[in-house]
């Protein structure tokens, strides 16, 4: 890697000015766990790197009924946070199942979203929680619902001069589950993952949210499957039909981690288990 400009601003205004000046000639560097391997494998040849670890945007707090994550909040800090465990358990689970101790220590929530992997674990949990993403530039900031953020594998609506600054997560009552399936039990990228959020009145389902990852070009919400169970009494038959509908809304591909055929079957089982878990039904 030759002649790469490296900036480590300590002020958000300076970071946004650098992004405004360099635009697509600069790449944001957070924990580097996605970016550095891409550079090492010559998939990317950055001209300038803007490191955001000194900006002080790594906090986690609750504000006006939402959890607010600074983009540089690390996966380890999310996994260890009592606030997240209490108010956003699927995100806590996703964080604790993501990567290894070493990667979690530096990997950030902003990086997991901006990298836009369809298999992103924090991204999947955040999709199920209807998170909002705050993008800041020297011209101002805008808030994008997570459902509108991803446009394809590795692609988002973020413009080159924008920094993903915060992630807002509405705190919602209900029962949740996050499950991932990898090729092994730990330190594994998801072959499929799912985040489920249900409000239950006894056995009757009120609100339902089902997010699915690694099953389409982007993380997705399975809206038809959600509609199928809203207001319905949940038993294993209803759950099985809902899980089948959820994967019918996906479009998995064959890759080095699994075939589309396998993902359809494993994804269906995963969604079924997560729904049963959230509904408090023993399979």
Ligand X SMILES: Cc1cc2nc3c(=O)[nH]c(=O)nc-3n(C[C@H](O)[C@H](O)[C@H](O)COP(=O)(O)OP(=O)(O)OC[C@H]3O[C@@H](n4cnc5c(N)ncnc54)[C@H](O)[C@@H]3O)c2cc1C
Q: Does 250 help bind ligand X (rule: CB under 6 A)?
A: no
Binding window for ligand X (CB under 6 A); candidates: 59-67, 109-117, 264-272, 274-282: 109-117
Angle, helices 260-279 vs 236-248, to 10°: value is 140
Give yes or no for residue 112 binding ligand X (CB under 6 A). Answer: yes
Shortest-Cβ-distance residue relative to ligand X: 111
As measured in angstroms, the least distance from the Cβ of 78 to ligand X is 10
Asked whether position 79 contacts ligand X by CB under 6 A, the answer is: no
The 8-class DSSP code of residue 108 comes to: B
CB of 115 to ligand X, least distance (A): 4
91: closest CA among 123, 133, 117? 123
DSSP 223-258: HHHHHHHTTSBP-HHHHHHHHHHHHHT-----BTTB
117: nearest Cα among 135, 99, 137? 99
Nearest distance in Å: CB 108, ligand X: 3
Alpha helices, DSSP H, located in 109-259: 109-114, 121-128, 223-229, 236-248
Which 175-214 residues touch ligand X, going by CB under 6 A? Answer: 189
Q: Compute φ and ψ for 261, nearest 5 degrees.
A: -55, -50
Residues 215-234 that bind ligand X (CB under 6 A): none
Near ligand X in 23-52, by CB under 6 A: 27-35, 37, 52
Query: What is the contact mask toward ligand X in residues 253 to 272, using x (rule: CB under 6 A)?
Result: --------------------
* CB nearer ligand X, residue 164 or residue 247: 164
Closest CB 151 distance from ligand X, rounded Å = 14
Q: Where are the beta strands (DSSP E) in the chain?
A: 5-7, 26-29, 48-51, 60-63, 66-70, 132-137, 140-145, 150-152, 155-156, 163-170, 175-181, 192-201, 204-213, 220-221
Which residues in this chain contact ligand X in the complex, by CB under 6 A? 27-35, 37, 52, 71, 75, 98-99, 103, 107-108, 110-112, 114-115, 120-122, 163-164, 189
């Amino acid at each position: 890697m030759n002649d790469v400009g490296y900036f480590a601003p300590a002020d958000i205004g300076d970071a946004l000015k650098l992004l405004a000046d360099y635009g697509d000639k600069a790449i944001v560097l957070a924990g580097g766990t996605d970016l550095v391997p891409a550079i090492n494998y010559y998939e990317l040849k950055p001209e300038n790197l803007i490191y955001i670890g000194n900006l002080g945007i790594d906090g986690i707090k609750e504000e006006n009924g939402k959890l607010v994550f600074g983009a540089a909040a690390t996966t380890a800090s999310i996994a260890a946070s009592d606030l997240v465990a209490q108010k956003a358990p699927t995100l806590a689970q996703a964080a604790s199942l993501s990567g290894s101790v070493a990667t979690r220590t530096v990997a950030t929530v902003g990086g997991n979203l901006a990298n836009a992997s369809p298999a992103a674990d924090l991204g999947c949990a955040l999709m199920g929680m209807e998170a909002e993403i705050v993008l800041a530039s020297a011209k101002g900031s805008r808030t994008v619902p997570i459902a509108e953020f991803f446009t394809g594998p590795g692609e988002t609506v973020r413009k080159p001069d924008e920094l993903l600054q915060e992630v807002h997560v509405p705190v919602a009552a209900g029962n949740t589950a996050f499950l991932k399936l990898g090729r092994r039990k730990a330190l594994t990228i998801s072959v499929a993952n799912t985040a489920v959020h249900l409000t239950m009145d006894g056995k009757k389902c009120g609100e339902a949210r089902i997010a699915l990852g690694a099953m389409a070009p982007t993380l997705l919400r399975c809206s038809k499957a959600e509609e199928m169970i809203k207001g319905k009494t949940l038993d294993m038959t209803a759950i099985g039909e809902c899980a089948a509908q959820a994967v019918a809304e996906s479009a998995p591909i064959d890759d080095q981690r699994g075939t589309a055929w396998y993902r359809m079957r494993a994804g269906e089982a995963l969604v079924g288990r997560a729904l049963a878990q959230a509904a408090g039904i023993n399979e």
